[in-house]
Chains A and B, each alone.
Chain A
Amino acid sequence: MTETTETPARRGVPLWAQIVIWIGLLGLLLMVGVTLNKRQQGTVQPGDAIPDFTLPLFSGYEYAGKPEVKLSDFRGKVVVINFWASWCKPCEQEAAELQEAWALYEPTGQVIFLGADYVDTEPEARVYLQKYGITFPNGPDMGTRISQLFRIQGVPETYFVDKTGVLRYVQVGPFSSLGQIQAQIELLLAE
């Protein structure tokens, strides 16, 4: 009779492979976490400095003869940025009030209104602008870059940026009256 013992048949995964796998898994988890966190953040918040962006303008809606505007061009002015779309029914509720407010403040030179047309088609957008007689600078949010910058949740949304480029108020949904728009602008002009 011969006495036998079992030899260890298991060989572990090489250390370098384990390190690579763990780094890969942690990297993926980190990416998923960052993305989820961004999605749950909601819109930019009052108090946040708004990074500079460029808005190309529809022809006929140029500002001071320029086919595009930059947020930084308006330092020293109150900037009202309105996100809208021609397919958006609630946007229609506030379109006339926004134009009325623009007509009130344009002559002062202290306030600028910008319309960013979100995920829209130009022919319908033009019909919408014409229908409500909108004259303030308007243009398409090309590549949805500006709406991503503001992390908008839908349309309409309006952002009030003070003279120093800091966001001060966010209106999610349509304004209910001209007075509501005026109240926010007056607060910022008084500073």
Chain B
Amino acid sequence: MKHTLRFTFFVLLLVLAGLLANPVSAQDGQPPTDDDVNQVAKELYCPVCENVPLDVCATQACAQWRDLIRLKLSQGETESQIKQYFVENYGARVLNEPPREGLNWLAYLVPPVIILIGAGFLVRALRMMKKPVVAAPVKGPSVEAPADDYVARLEEEVKKQK
């Protein structure tokens, strides 16, 4: 019983790993569906139609690209292999995310750095707004205390007169 459970768990784990490792697959003999094609296409951009993802682009060029994806899926190529083919043939700009290399790192690093710097300035400004004004005593003659012995004696005399 224990062995059967373990075996079942192992099989389930393998199935899950297979699903996660290769979400787009047409190797089971079934022709790739439109969803299969679009899953790859939505992460690609044709240079002819800038800013329009390949899965929704209506031009002839994009239709041909989708047909090529379908052909490659039916030949058993994986999503990453197809993407690699498109990068080699049409350049890295077809990807929806620039590859993390060279100057492309700027696209990933600059926005968070700017946000951090901005947040730093904001926190600083808020702290300054909350901080009470620091007062420091200033050395000098106090109005409360008598200035000197003469004044003290004078005040004593006035009190006595009263």
Contacts and interface: CB of A to CB of B under 8 A. Distances in A.
Interface of A: 1-7, 9-10, 21, 24, 28, 31, 85-87, 119-121, 123-124, 140, 142-145
Interface residues of B, number: 34
B135 interface: yes
A1 B145 CA distance: 9
A9 B64 contact: no
A2 B91 contact: no
Interface of B: 46-48, 59-61, 63-65, 67-68, 71, 87-91, 93, 106, 110, 113, 117, 128, 131, 133-138, 140, 142-144
B122 to A, nearest CB: 13
Given A21-B117, A121-B67, A121-B68, A5 B136 contact: yes
Contact of B61 (A1, A4, A87, A145): A87
Of A10, A119, A140, most B-chain CB atoms within 10 Å: A119
Nearest to B91: A143
A2 B47 contact: no
Contacts of A145: 91
A4 B138 contact: yes
A144 B91 contact: yes
Contacts of B138: 2-5
Contacts of A1: 142-144
B156 to A, nearest CB: 21
- Please give me the 10 A-B residue pairs with the lowest Cβ-Cβ distance, nearest first: A87-B60, A4-B135, A143-B91, A87-B61, A121-B64, A121-B68, A3-B138, A144-B91, A1-B143, A7-B134
Nearest to A31: B106
Nearest to B92: A143
B68 A142 contact: no
Contact of A28 (B47, B68, B87, B110): B110
